[in-house]
Amino acid sequence: MTAIPEGPYGNASAPDHPADLLARFQQAVAAAPDRAAVHDERGSLTFAELDRRTAQVGKALTVRGAAPGEHIGVSLARGADLVVALLAVWRAGAAYVPLDPAYPTERLHAMVRDAGIRTLLTADDDDRAWPEGVQTLYLSELPAPADRNPAPPVSTPAHAPAYVIYTSGSTGTPKGVETTRGGVASLLSGLEAAGMYAEEPRVVAWNASVSFDASVQQWARVCRGDTLVVLGEEERTDPARLCEVLDRHGVHDLDLTPSHWHLLRADLLGRAAEGRRLRLFMGGEPVPEPTWRELAAERAGGRLEALNLYGPTECTVDATATWIEGGSSHIGHPLPGVRAHVLDAALRPVADGAEGELFLAGAGVAAGYVGRPALTATRFVADPFAADGTRMYRTGDKVRRRADQALEYLGRIDRQVKIRGYRVELGEIEAALATHPGVATAVVTLHSSPAAGEQLAAYLVAADGTEGSAAVAAASPDALREHLAKTLPQYMLPTAYVTLDALPLTVNGKVDLAALPAPQEAADAAAPPDDAAQDHAPDGEVETLIADVWSEVLGRAHIRADDDFFALGGHSLIALRVVARLKKQLGIAVSSREVYRHPRLRDLARHVETVRVGR
């Protein structure tokens, strides 16, 4: 087996048994009790206040049965209360399960049942009905903490669960990845030993969704004494507001995906040129070569520095890292405490430069999938190179080891895809489509267009396979989208829905993905005749302007006044481009939230007209 080098960080190595993060949090509180720990849109908490508040909530959880091994649901919007809740769960020794309020109720209920959640932390405005037997704890019900010297956290072993994050499942059901307290401690100590975190306390912007494992690398930094700035939804999606928040709080570190960088780059590069240096933690998807070269040039010029982080949820967020500088895009070397093997199908090491599957081992390897021993045994296998009974995780990622021992990402060995940083199993979407009575069979692909970027496209055959039948009508794009939205989060909803007489097959009887028509070509072919389209054509200056903007950013030839932005493939990042164009061409500042509130073109145009008249 090719030896894994110490990497480009000298002889730095993570401690074999890093301190639990709650112990480190207590040290941070003792060292600087009056320093700001958390900022959000509504205010701030000092480290002492955060300590008292988490102790109070943790005690309430303990009374309700929280203990090591217990799963506690957390369904809260972005803000300081979310940080309090996550720390409180850890303080009680339990593991948190993020339940994004934006997810469909059916999906949230499935996660609650699958994780065996009996207690759930939420806000007092949460009117969602949760499964029977789940007791809800509203943070607002708890009085202000009075104890100036709160009790210490529950002693929790390193192998105890820290959190369960649900990822897309290839069989149609999301699967919960259960990580350990020791794995999270190893993550932070590894990033510290690798020099990715500065030694002195920093101000960190928390950008990622709590349902996305990258969030752990951000919010948990409060445990090492860093100050968290929890970005609100508008702050994280509006470049101007984001820069204002970065400046107001003096943010040093910001995480984002390469897709997000593309929309923020002009504003962030402008700040960098003015001497406001920022460290970017980039991950979630491969860094395109042009982005790599641009960020490398910024680092060489001393204006901006960026890191490329790689790691699956099953290995506690990050497994490899590298500074983005010089050369071409790669995922770097294993973090201290991580062992990386590039193997063939028989689990034999491949030669440097040869393609193989990446297997990861070390303290960050998760306990497995909740309630799925067979799947756990398939993906988490014995590490034959350790000879100590430990396991390694087969990532499904194709890589090669370069001459400098850095790892280069080459793609997937299966049909899993990444879209805007989210991991998606296409099979889960296909399984959900197949439950619609008007669908006989379906296949989903990832399609890329110059205008809208990467989007999901669904191809289906109607249940009776006859053109113009009732089944075909029932399986209209709107009906399918509504059907899928009951169980799938927004980022998993296909943009295009193409009905075919039959799916093209290869000589081996498999779906011939290369023979599927481009979704835009299919949409253009199905567009209504000119006279029919004219009845729904945009009318007036603002409707026409918005239609032109949508056509450009979505790559659509035909835009109607009653079209829905999200049904056409719009998402939060494209909404930013719409907002920027409206401001440039009409001089009107409209937030991306208004695009969500008024997704139909005609409704958005009326809102813009109202804003313009009221100026």
Write down the pLDDT at residue 378: 96
Amino acid (1-letter code) at residue 217: Q
CA torsion through residues 487, 490, 492, 498, sign = positive
Contact (CB, 8 A) for 186 and 337: yes
Per-residue pLDDT of 94-131, as tens digits, reads: 999 999 998 999 999 999 999 999 999 999 888 889 99
DSSP SS3 for 509:
coil
- Is residue 374's pLDDT more than 80? yes
Contact (CB, 8 A) for 456 and 494: yes
- Is residue 238's pLDDT more than 90? no
Structure-block tokens of residue 73: 């649901």
Cα three-residue angle 234-238-239, rounded to 5 degrees: 145
Per-residue pLDDT of 423-472, as tens digits, reads: 899 999 999 998 999 998 899 999 887 766 788 999 999 887 444 444 44
Type and span of the H or E element at 310: strand 305-310
Mean pLDDT of the chain: 89
- List, in order, residues 6 or more apart from 469 with CB less than 8 Å away: 462
Backbone torsion region of residue 54, taken as left when φ is above 0, otherwise alpha when ψ lies between -120 and 50, otherwise beta: alpha
Is the pTM value of this prediction over 0.85?
yes
- Is residue 611's pLDDT more than 90? no
Burial class for 147, CB neighbours closer than 10 Å (0-12, 13-18, 19+): exposed
Over range 218-242, report the average pLDDT: 92
Over range 191-204, report the average pLDDT: 96
Return the top range by mean pLDDT from 231-245, 404-418, 508-522. 404-418
